[in-house]
Amino acid sequence: MACASTIFAVLLVLAILALILAKAIKLTVASSWYKRRYAKRQHYWTELTALVFEPLKRKLFADLDKKLKEVNGDVLEIGIGSGQNFQYYPHGTSLIAVDPNPYVKKLLKDNLEKAGNKVHLKRFVVASAEDMSCKGKVGVEDNSVAAVVCTKLMCSLTDDQIMQTVQEVKRVLMPGGRFYFMEHVAGSPWTLQYLLQQLVSKSRFWPTVYNGCRCDRETLSWIEQGGFEVVQSIKTWPSWSPEKYSKKHSFDWGTRLKLYIINSMLVGFAEKGKTAEEKKHL
């Protein structure tokens, strides 16, 4: 009987400690200190691995260039971070930036200056991808942008947030506009990469360290269920080596392991259908 009471007491203490830890993590992630630090860390990682993902981005943005010649209008990038995609945009792009972290703005301006007149930043909206209407404030209007760009964002969203984000993207796109995405997702089932992705995600280790990011996402299914007229995508594993890393940073075992875990990429686009009235005039 005493043994059972001891076990119960230990379990109760562990449950209380788990609740305290969960609350502490939630408060930390919501703090200004964490948001500033995460903005810098995110910029560091994107800069470090720029050459690894460059071929995928160039292909994605080449299609965007063609599409903007058909559907004229602004481009919206959600989860823009420090603006590392500026170099890939077509010359003269009119861009609306959306990010929930207000502390990325300084880094964003720095990269905007480097881009010169290649990109015109029309406005920066502090908002989450799943609610860009901003509830009465100046947000993103319905049917207002020619394209939406999203690179490595949805891994950090819950299933409900991904579903809401896809619907928000569809809401803000003009008829015939495209949603361009590049996201790291779950690898091939039962490979070592896949098992590691499941382990670090379901244990909550990876999401805790990396701002909610999960490595086991099946993001394509949410996009396919979003009601787009066309969805085209590929799943690919970018090649990488020490030579593909920024010479300004070290290429240690931790970096290698992290890239191995997330190195399964979903790349493609989803196109919003045209209304019946517009089809009559084509």
Enter the pTM of the model: 0.83
Q: Which of 77-91, 107-121, 264-278 has the lowest mean pLDDT?
A: 264-278
CATH code of 171's domain: 3.40.50.150
pLDDT at 151 over 80: yes
pLDDT score at 257: 86
Q: Is residue 169 part of a domain?
A: yes
| 127 in a structural domain | yes
- Per the structure, the count of domains in the chain is 1
Query: Domain limits at 133?
Result: 31-182+217-236+265-273
Phi-psi region of 269 (alpha: psi -120 to 50; beta: other; left: phi over 0): beta
Task: Check residue 7 and report its DSSP letter.
Answer: H
* pLDDT tier, 139 (very low <50, low <70, confident <90, very high otherwise): confident
| Mean pLDDT for all residues in the chain | 83
Residue 4 domain-assigned (yes or no): no
Residue 193 belongs to some domain of the structure: no
Q: Does residue 160 lie in a domain region? A: yes
Q: Which of 76-85, 128-137, 173-182, 221-230 has the lowest mean pLDDT?
A: 128-137
Structural domain contains residue 49: yes
pLDDT above 80 (res 43)? no
pLDDT band at 281 (very low <50, low <70, confident <90, very high): very low
Whether residue 255 is contained in a domain is answered as no
* 3-state percent breakdown (helix, strand, coil) of the chain, nearest 5: 50, 20, 30
Per-residue pLDDT tens digits for 207-264: 888 878 899 999 999 999 999 999 999 999 988 776 666 555 556 777 788 888 988 9
pLDDT tens digits, 77-108: 999 988 889 999 999 999 999 998 888 888 88
Show the tokens assigned to 108. 């964003």
Query: What is d(CA 237, CA 220) in angstroms, rounded to the nearest whole number?
Result: 16
At 2, the pLDDT band (50, 70, 90 cuts) reads low
Q: Which residue has the higher pLDDT, 257 or 60?
A: 60
- Please give the residue that has the higher pLDDT: either 8 or 188: 188
What percentage of the chain carries pLDDT values higher than 90? 50
* In contact, 58 and 238? CB cutoff 8 Å: no
Q: Please give the pLDDT value at position 276.
A: 42
Reported as half-sphere exposure (CB side, CA atoms, 13 A), residue 51 has a value of 11
Domain membership of residue 259 (yes or no) is no
Q: Which residue has the higher pLDDT, 116 or 190?
A: 190
Give the model's pLDDT for residue 153: 92
Retrieve residue 258's tokens: 């992290």
What integer is the mean pLDDT of 182-186? 94
pLDDT at 238: 86
- In the chain, the percentage of residues whose pLDDT exceeds 70 is 76
Residue 121's DSSP bridge partners are 95
Taking Cα atoms as reference points, which of 108, 107, 149, 100 lies closest to residue 129?
100
pLDDT value at residue 6: 73
CA 126/CA 44 separation, integer angstroms:
21
Neighbouring C-beta atoms of residue 187, cutoff 10 Å = 24
Short-list 134, 136, 124, CA closest to 77: 124
